[in-house]
Every structure is written in C-alpha cells, then in structure tokens.
Amino acid sequence: MTTWDRDDPGAGDLDTLDEIVDRAARHLSSLPGTAGEITALVQDTRTRWTGAAAESWERSMLDRAAQVDAAADGLRRGAETVNAYAGAVRDLRVRARTAGEDFDQSRHDLARTNLTLTTLQRQPDPDPWELRLAVRAVQNADQLLLDHQAALDRLVTERQQLDDDLVAALSAEVPPVWSQAGGAGRAVSTDVLAQGPAGMARWVLDLPDGPTGDALARWLVSMLTPEEFDALLTACPQLAVRLMGDDAGAFGAQYPELAAALKVSDPQRRIDAVLAACQHLGADELALLARMYPGMVHNLDGVPLTTRIAANRVAITAALAEADAQITRTLAEIEREDDAGRLLALRVELAQLRRDRDWYDQLLTEQIKTIDADGAEVPRVGHQVVLFDPAAGRFGELVGYAGAPNVAVLVGGTGTNLGNMDGQFERAWEFVDEGSPDLAVITYLGGPMPQSVLVRDQSVPDQRSFEAFDSAYALSIAPHLASFANGVKAVTGATITVAGHSYGGSVVGRAEVAGMVVDRVLHIESAGAGPGVGTTQDYAAPDTPRYSMTAPGDPITLAQGTGIGTVLGHGLDPDELPGVTQLETGRVDRNDPYSGVLSGPASHSGVFESRSDAWANILAVMIGGEVTVWTDPTVFIGSGVTDEHYTYPMQDPGFVPPTEAVR
C-alpha cells in the first residue's frame, strides 16, 4: 500500500508499486525454470544413486522444487493483485482530484457567505431581505459543503476498502514483505524525548511536510505524559495544526471500529456506532485518541465529553496558531497596501483576527470555576469546550462536572454569538453553583443566530421588520442540536434537559422535529414551539415532559403562535402545547412577597435573575424536584370594551402558588 490521507484518497507512490510489479515479472520468468532444473537433476541422479541417503536427498530437493513453484505462484498472484490495486487507485485519483476541487470551492463559498452574513448582522440597519438571502446562502453553501464532503467520504471508504482487500490478499498469497510495498521507514531517536519542550518544539518544526512528518509528530505525542504534552503545545502551537489534520489512513488502521462508525450516515446510528467503538477503549486509550487525532473526534457526537474537551484544547491551540500566522500575513499586507479602500478592509480584518485570537487565548488560559467529583468548587485553567467550529459559528462549553447525574443544554436567544458566550457561561454557572453536585450545564451555540429583533427595511422609509421572526436560523441549527443533545445523552447516561431561551426555544422545538429525544424540554420566554410545529405529534418523541414559562408583558408574546409554516415564525405558542406544564414566573424576589411580579420587557432576561421565582423553577426542571405552576390572572374590563386589565395572583403577598413534581 501507499500512504494517503482523508483529504486526498487518491494519493500514493504508484510508481514504486509499478517498479515492484516489474521486478516480480522478471523473477517470474526464471523461477519456473529453476524448479524444473531441480526436478530434472533429481530424475537424472535417481538412476545413479540409491539407498537411504539418496532417498532423503531426493525428498529434500523435491520439497525445494515445490517451494520454488509455490513461491512463483504466490509471486504471480501477488503481482497481479498489486497491479490491479495500482490501476484502481489511479482511477480513484482522477475522481478524487475533481471531488477535492469541488470540496475546496464549496468550503470557500461557505466562508464567503458566512462573512457576508456576519457583515450584514453587524450593520446597524441591515436590509431584512438581504439578510434573509444571506442566511439562505449560508444554508445552501453549508449543504453543498456537506454533499461534497460526503462525496469525498465515499472515495475515502472506497480507498480504505481497496487497502483492506490488498492486505487480505497479500497476507494470504505472498510473503509478508509484500504488504510493506511502497512503505518507507525512518529511524527516530528517542533522544528527542529528553530535550524538553523547547528542544522537542524545534524537532517538530523540522519535521517534513506530509504523512511521514505527521506520523512522527503523532509518535512523539504518544510518548509524552499529559503534563509534557501540554508544555509542548504551549512551546509549539504549530504542532496542534499538524495534529488537527485528517489522516484517514493512519486513523483507520489504529482505530478501525471508530473509523467505520464515521462512515454511518444516519445521525443516531452513527452516535450508537461511535459510542460502541469508544466503549472498547480504556481511559488511557481515549486520552491518546484525543491527543493524536483531535481533528477526528473533537466535535464527534458519541465521543465522551472528557475526550472532546481534551481534543478541543488541541483544536483551539491550532486556531490560535493559525490566527497568529494570519495576523502576521495581514500586517505585512497592510505595510504593502496603497489603496485606501483595501487598507480599511485589511484593518477591519486585522481587528477581527485579534479579537478571535484573544478569545482563543482566553479559552486556553483563563482560570475558571468548576466542580469536582465530590461537588466541591475548584479552580481550573482553561474552559471545558465540547464543541468548537468557529468557521461555522458553533460552540459548546461544559460548565461543571462531566459526571453530574443531570446535564442541561442551554440554548441562547437572539443576539447570541461567539463573542458573548462568556455571558452564557456566567448564566450557566449560577445554576451549577446552586445545583452542584447534581447538575452540569452545557452552553450551546449551533450556528449563526439573529443578532437583533428589529431590523430597518431599507426599501420602505421608517418601516422596521423582524429579523428574529425569520425561521431560517432555527431550521439550520436544529439538526446539529438534535445530534449534539442525543450524543450527550448517550455518553453521559445523565438525565438531559434541553432549555431554549427566546429564539433558542424555536431552535429547541425544531430540534425535536429533527430527531432530538431527551428527558425534558424547557421553553424559557420562548419564541415558539418550533417552525412549522402545531402539535406535539410533530416531534420525534411526543410524550417527552415539556415545561414552558412566559412572564406577563414580555414582548416575546408578539412572536408566539404566529407564522407561516416553516417559512416565517416559530410555530405554536409553547405555553399552549398539549401536555405542557406552564411554570409560574412569579415574583422578582422569591424571598420577598412584596417585591412585585416579574413582568414587562425586562422580564425577558429577568427570568435569569437568581433571586426570582422563575430562576428557581428553571433550576428545578434541570435537576428534578418540585416546581410552582402557573395560575391564570383575573381579567376585568375597564372603561372601554377592549380595555382589559389583569390581576395576577402572585401580586397578592399571601398567595402561595400550586406545585407539581418534575417528571
């Protein structure tokens, strides 16, 4: 076989294989004659030499002749097998080149459309139609990238099958040396292990490009302790870039069951296959997997959370190294640029690169709070990132202990983006701090979200339209959330609650349509039950316990229950879902009956104030226990027919709301 990788399944030194086949052919012309000469010699000697010694010699020589014949036969079959393999790879190479070009173009198109969308979202008054077209363009580019990736994956599968068939054939037919055809070895001195981080960093930077250098880098990291590996990554972030590269051939050889699982197309069956493959690996093997092949597993649903966290530390280090390199290139380009317009664009790009770089560094080096196995608060250096794909706008962070019996996935709403996920961390930490050791929370961003509720429509003066009313964001994120949440449930065995706030509620609802099956679903001031959802029968698991809260006077009620199919809007009002438990949002301060009812526009985020009744209900759903349920207000008509007034029971300091056990 010859060395290849996932990005280029048609790679390999086929000329070497051709040379081996030619050499075999030359031997094949002489070996049958050699066997014949041995047989003729035995027959000629038989008439002139008799006795026990002669018979023993004759048997020995005839055995040798048979061995030569067998060697010639095996060599012939081996040459034919290798020749057929080389021809098949040449054919695959042509198809892989085209598929690779298509994939590179689609990746470029996705980056371009994402940049267009991000630029529009940062404008103070973006055109809503342009914004919608930009979202659709991102979705189309994302799907095209997935299609081209699938085409490449099929070629990878085909190449791996060719390799597997070749190994099986050569192992059965010819001497073991044939299975090493085209391989190249390189002696590696173990002295490098004694050189410390700086010396090892120099050694890594001197490695050749390509599969050979990648293999040597992986050999090195496999020999290090966790502390040594962290020190080397700090000294040589470029190592992380190398480790993130996909090397399907080597990965498949070392982890064949996991490699096979990656080829499963159905999301749930893929999670099951990945989980089964990982269960055959011990803790040390999983740690090594995260270190040697982080690019294969850092975002793979079905992989243990601790493995994803370790792999994402490498992924973030790689992003940091690439950002540093891009900053250097951009600074050099700024020095050379004379055009004022281009210079301005470069400076904007540089500012964004520096913001990205600072965020990556923060994820790696910031000291945060977390929870240990005993439920105690402990400091930790670096965030516990379980999802990291900044190019696609996806991010997830575990807050708390990975082994907690309850795990909540918290999906933010309008305005959530990569730049403010630290606020989501603080929001999650308050729940974890109160609910430990029984609760961990994962903050989740599955792609670009609407960045404002109101967007000026440039085509109509003084008219404003609703960006957050657009369902395209929810439709795009939903399948990713479904796979992620199902994966978390599979690997943790915990009770999983998925909670969506504001626009995030629509994402959660649509994820249920896309196949998400968890233990509880919670809508928090939710935009809707999901685009196109009119009944719980639209969900993959209609009987999932569902909870919803909407504070009086929250403007989100303008969005609830409105829409046109999956095109606009967010489906049914989640408070009205059949079987839903509507939760009491209650008072501003649950310990002060005179604090007033949580209401009005401020209540949209006020439900996350930890002293409120609403916050206590959110926590109760996440960990199980008892919640207070909604009591309808008293309605009376004022001076006009439409002048309705409401009196809420919680306005009465003596009112005690009814309770219900969390299912």
| Averaged pLDDT in 10-residue chunks for the chain of 663 residues | 73 79 68 65 69 68 68 71 79 84 87 88 83 86 86 83 73 39 38 85 89 84 92 96 79 87 94 96 94 96 98 98 96 91 92 96 96 92 98 97 97 95 96 94 96 61 61 94 98 98 96 98 96 94 97 89 71 92 96 94 95 97 96 76 74 94 95
Quick one: which H or E segment has residue 34? helix 31-46
Task: Let me know: does 436 contact 375? Beta carbons within 8 Å.
Answer: yes
Write out the E strands in 489-565. 495-501, 520-524, 546-549, 563-564
Q: Tokens 């909604």 belong to which residue?
A: 630
Write down the pLDDT at residue 646: 81
Q: Tokens 């002669």 belong to which residue?
A: 54
Write down the pLDDT at residue 186: 36
Write down the pLDDT at residue 99: 85
Write down the pLDDT at residue 613: 97
Write down the pLDDT at residue 172: 54
Write down the pLDDT at residue 173: 46
Write down the pLDDT at residue 187: 39
- Within 10 A of 189 (CB to CB), how many other CB atoms are there? 8
DSSP state of 390: G
Task: Let me know: does 310 contact 295? Beta carbons within 8 Å.
Answer: no
CA distance 518 to 408: 10
The residue among 332, 379, 388, 325 whose CA lies nearest residue 360 is: 388
365's CB contacts (< 8 A; 6+ apart) are 381, 382
Task: Let me know: does 436 contact 471? Beta carbons within 8 Å.
Answer: no
236's CB contacts (< 8 A; 6+ apart) are 197, 200, 201, 204, 205
Residue type at 104? D
Residue 322 CA: distances (Å) to CA of 217, 229, 243, 297? 18, 19, 13, 20
Task: Let me know: does 566 contact 474? Beta carbons within 8 Å.
Answer: no
CA distance 491 to 305: 7
Write down the pLDDT at residue 219: 86
Distance of CA 630 to the CA centre of its chain: 38
Write down the pLDDT at residue 34: 63
Q: Parallel, antiparallel, or unpaired for β 367-371 and 384-389? A: unpaired
Q: For residue 608, how many C-alpha atoms fall within 13 Å in the half-sphere facing its CB? A: 22
CB < 8 Å & 24+ apart, contacts of 26-30: 27/72, 27/75, 28/72, 28/75, 28/76, 28/79
Write down the pLDDT at residue 293: 94
CA distance 290 to 562: 45
Write down the pLDDT at residue 54: 65
DSSP line for 100-157: HHHHHHHHHHHHHHHHHHHHHHHSSS--HHHHHHHHHHHHHHHHHHHHHHHHHHHHHH
| Residue 142 in tokens | 């994302």
Write down the pLDDT at residue 89: 83
Write down the pLDDT at residue 6: 76
Question: What are phi and psi for residue 165, nearest 5 degrees?
Answer: -65, -40
Residue 95 CA: distances (Å) to CA of 85, 89, 292, 466? 16, 10, 29, 46
Write down the pLDDT at residue 523: 98
Write down the pLDDT at residue 469: 79
DSSP state of 124: S
Helices 226-235 and 305-336, axial angle in degrees (round to 10): 10
DSSP state of 247: -
